Chains A and B, each alone.
Chain A
């Protein structure tokens, strides 16, 4: 039974992208295989909860976000929103009620804004398409309200501007305003501050945190930055090569990590790594392997400093290591 307190449940979610095999391989009947971008994820997001999805580049974070926002179709598993199975719902009109409740903020705000639309049209687009307003007056009110919530004041000054006339921070605020305008219950934010100047990051993060406080919006905050995740999130889920290796409260995962990958991530950041963590394990070696060739056994074993024989053969299941804290490692128990 889905827990109705959760706004979103992902159950054993898979997204495999087929690889177009080379002609030579196809003639010899070799299977082409697939990029296992997301390879069995279970994740719940509660109402008004901020969950951070952390992982290196290529670990599948964006793909998870695209599935939740219905831009990509999962190849396996289920996605429940408010207890309703949304996995196979498709088409812009069938998705309209869902679009009203789930919105997205993008990494590159410049790319996310049509260069030929004004700020007003950009923010008004979801309100118009989802038919959430009755007349022009109401539309202008809602657009102004959304721009103000996103920190663009006075909103009227921005209505007629084009994206290229805005600074990077202001563009991201416009993207946020567009997502806010429909008053969604869940926002997926895919690395929303990674392309912004450090001085602006804090302000944008504040806008996101305020949303939860004011409107009880849930937030899936996607980032590669563990300290940032700790700063903003209630819970942290650590993704490695398409699988969640550790989930727990932000403090637990950050200060008491149980998976070697999380430990390595933490050690990579001097602010919280400190001397204690550093002595335990060396920092990460090498790069994330390609999701097209997932290692056998535990997918982290080729880079794991404490791997032993079992890790090379069997994939560890997630085990409970504390209250609401799970880790998928043979050494975690």
Chain B
């Protein structure tokens, strides 16, 4: 019986994951991205241990605008705060905002894209119109619109998950403006998946539409969602930086964008205080670059053929 002569390796889910990791880590970009990201995640996890509590104008430890020295590795800002201290604490804020916004974006984008692609017809038309609307919506405008609403609901001093209102606004705004990108990708993937025979089989097996979406489509969408999720984080960090730079951040919970904004307003650039602008700027670049590298490596791992054609 030729069919029983096939050799099996006794591998299941664990083996599949191991194989995936081997291919994924084979990409140089993935290695660089992961190491860089690890570094920032550790920094963001324990800022207090690394550099002590967040410095404010009151407990600032140095002189004004001191260039980098052995005492202040990254110099000080215009009120004498240690820039290293600020940047390390900023990592936590920036990453939290970006990751939470990405979760919102992925949940919304996947749900809407999958529903539109699976049901098709009128649901598809209307959901994609909504998607296009959010696709072109500028985040700054949306932020201006919903800030008063959030302030009304939370109160000026309120907190949600330890986030003050202005940061909460930023998270919601990034989430709402970035899901459209995810929805389009998920929809197009759903359109091709739903023609596959295993969806027909699921229907004949009596599975409901919801169960087909959750049990059959979603697991097959995970690669796309993962790869694009990494790109969404990179975009979220940028948007967060620019929104904060425009003054939507919170001075009491300074993110990298807020630091850039404060330095800019204090005239750091004209005063030649490059460290005030450079330190948070380089952090933004490195973190978003590592997410892009990871996202591309994930994409390559899942669709190895895609990049053959440049």
CA distance A157 to B110 in the complex (A): 36
Interface pair A126/B200, CB less than 8 Å apart: no
In the bound complex, residues from chain B placing their C-beta under 8 Å from that of A290 are none
Interface pair B220/A71, CB less than 8 Å apart: no
In the bound complex, residues from chain B placing their C-beta under 8 Å from that of A69 are 204
> Given A71-B200, A114-B220, A165-B8, is A100 in contact with B206 using a C-beta cutoff of 8 Å?
yes
Provide the A65-81 mask, 1 if CB < 8 A to any CB of B, else 0: 01001110000000000
B211 within 8 A of A: yes
A130 within 8 A of B: yes
Q: Contact check: which of A108, A162, A167 meets B12 at CB < 8 Å? A: A162
In the bound complex, residues from chain A placing their C-beta under 8 Å from that of B206 are 92, 95-96, 99-100, 126, 129-130
Question: Chain A: interface residue count, which band?
Answer: 35 or more
In the bound complex, residues from chain A placing their C-beta under 8 Å from that of B6 are 166-167, 170
Nearest chain B residue, comparing its CB with the CB of A169: B3
Interface pair B8/A129, CB less than 8 Å apart: no
A197 within 8 A of B: yes
* Majority-rule SS of B interface residues: helix
> Given A111-B198, A178-B201, is A125 in contact with B220 using a C-beta cutoff of 8 Å?
no
Q: Contact check: which of A106, A117, A118, A126 meets B197 at CB < 8 Å? A: A106
Interface residues of B in 80-123 (CB under 8 A from A): none
In the bound complex, residues from chain B placing their C-beta under 8 Å from that of A268 are none
Interface pair B201/A106, CB less than 8 Å apart: yes
Interface pair B201/A167, CB less than 8 Å apart: no
Q: How far is the CB of A63 from chain B (nearest CB, A)?
A: 13
CA distance A181 to B3 in the complex (A): 22
B207 within 8 A of A: yes
Interface pair B204/A99, CB less than 8 Å apart: yes
Q: How far is the CB of B206 from chain A (nearest CB, A)?
A: 4
In the bound complex, residues from chain A placing their C-beta under 8 Å from that of B16 are 162
B79 within 8 A of A: no
Interface pair A111/B202, CB less than 8 Å apart: no
Q: Contact check: which of B1, B201, B208, B209 meets A112 at CB < 8 Å? A: B201
Provide the B1-15 mask, 1 if CB < 8 A to any CB of A, else 0: 111101011011000
B306 within 8 A of A: no
Interface pair A111/B207, CB less than 8 Å apart: no
Interface pair B204/A168, CB less than 8 Å apart: no
Nearest chain B residue, comparing its CB with the CB of A168: B3
Provide the B212-243 mask, 1 if CB < 8 A to any CB of A, else 0: 00011001100000000000000000000000
In the bound complex, residues from chain A placing their C-beta under 8 Å from that of B201 are 104, 106, 112-113, 175, 178
Q: How far is the CB of A165 from chain B (nearest CB, A)?
A: 6
In the bound complex, residues from chain A placing their C-beta under 8 Å from that of B1 are 199, 203
Q: Contact check: which of B2, B202, B207, B208 meets A200 at CB < 8 Å? A: B2
CA distance A104 to B206 in the complex (A): 12
A116 within 8 A of B: yes
A21 within 8 A of B: no
Nearest chain A residue, comparing its CB with the CB of B217: A114
A160 within 8 A of B: yes
A154 within 8 A of B: no
Interface pair B198/A113, CB less than 8 Å apart: yes
Interface pair A125/B197, CB less than 8 Å apart: no
A103 within 8 A of B: yes
In the bound complex, residues from chain B placing their C-beta under 8 Å from that of A130 are 205-206
CA distance A70 to B200 in the complex (A): 10
A84 within 8 A of B: no
CA distance A100 to B9 in the complex (A): 35
A115 within 8 A of B: yes
In the bound complex, residues from chain A placing their C-beta under 8 Å from that of B216 are 114
In the bound complex, residues from chain A placing their C-beta under 8 Å from that of B11 are 165
CA distance A162 to B9 in the complex (A): 11
CA distance A71 to B219 in the complex (A): 23
Q: How far is the CB of B3 from chain A (nearest CB, A)?
A: 4
In the bound complex, residues from chain B placing their C-beta under 8 Å from that of A96 are 206
Interface pair A129/B3, CB less than 8 Å apart: no
Interface pair B207/A199, CB less than 8 Å apart: no
Q: Contact check: which of B2, B4, B9, B204 meets A103 at CB < 8 Å? A: B204
Provide the B159-198 mask, 1 if CB < 8 A to any CB of A, else 0: 0000000000000000000000000000000000000111
Provide the B27-38 mask, 1 if CB < 8 A to any CB of A, else 0: 000000000000
The 6 closest A-B pairs by CB, nearest first: A169-B3, A126-B205, A129-B206, A111-B197, A99-B206, A116-B219
Listed in ascending order, the chain B residues whose CB lies under 8 Å from chain A are 1-4, 6, 8-9, 11-12, 16, 196-198, 200-209, 211, 215-216, 219-220
Name 18 A/B residue pairs within 8 A (Cβ), A-sorted: A70-B204, A71-B203, A96-B206, A99-B204, A108-B197, A111-B197, A112-B201, A113-B201, A114-B198, A117-B215, A117-B219, A118-B12, A129-B211, A130-B205, A160-B12, A166-B6, A167-B4, A168-B3
Known contacts A112-B201, A197-B2; can you find 4 more A-B pairs with CB under 8 A? A106-B200, A113-B201, A168-B3, A203-B3
